[in-house]
Amino acid sequence: MTLVHQPRPRKESVIFDDILPEDLPSAELTENARIVLGKRYLKKDASGEPNEDPEVMFWRVARTIAAVDGDYGASEKVVDEIARQFYDLMINGKFEPN
């Protein structure tokens, strides 16, 4: 019997805007943490300078993680709640995806 590779259909990638909900708390980060985030993880412009704040980055990552639940049937409301939970974990240093 010959096995034939059947590629999975590609999912459309999700692109989020960079709008941070106003009711989310700010991250209390040390100056060193802000420097490291700026050098390694924040989105950068064409000249290599960060063009987002750490809170926006945390929200972007939290939404990306939570969006997977939407792929398995979770409603937008549930996905938003999950994203908020991940955001809270990240700004409090309890979850650090890498």
Average pLDDT per 10 consecutive residues for the chain, totaling 98 residues: 65 66 95 95 94 95 95 94 97 91
Please state the domain extents for the chain: 52-98
- In the 8-state DSSP scheme, what is residue 42? S
pTM listed for this prediction? 0.81
CA distance 82 to 76: 10
- pLDDT for the residue 73: 94
8 A C-beta contact, residue 54 and residue 87: no
